[in-house]
Amino acid sequence: MIRRTVTAAVAAILLGSSMLIAPPPAEAKSCSVLCKSAIKECKATVCAGITKKKDKRTCFKKTCRRALLDLCKPMPKPRTACSPSGAFLD
């Protein structure tokens, strides 16, 4: 009986301490999460006229996704926003 109580107490302490150490959710977001809407908008506008599947995928990956993520990654952490134009908000 004592062993269960001690185990439960230790588990609660570990969980509580891990929540104090972990960064807040806003700071933990990656560039791909922050720029998701901008990437979708780019795909819908820039790559819209392309009909071949392979060319469309290449356009999406290189022109939209890679370009926006390459602009986002050098930004200082915590990253908080990604604007559709590729200009980042402070």
Domain residue extents for the chain: 26-72
pTM of the model: 0.54
Q: What is the pLDDT of residue 5?
A: 84
Dist CA 22 CA 43 (whole Å): 34
Q: What is the pLDDT of residues 44-78, one digit of tens each?
A: 888 888 888 898 888 888 888 888 888 888 777 77
What's the mean pLDDT in 17-41? 71
* Contacts of residue 31, Cβ cutoff 8 Å, sequence gap at least 6: 68, 69, 72, 73, 75, 79, 82
Q: What is the C-alpha to C-alpha distance for residues 48 and 55, in angstroms, rounded to an integer?
A: 11
In this structure, what token pair is assigned to residue 62? 């290189």
Which residue's structure tokens are 């901008």? Answer: 38
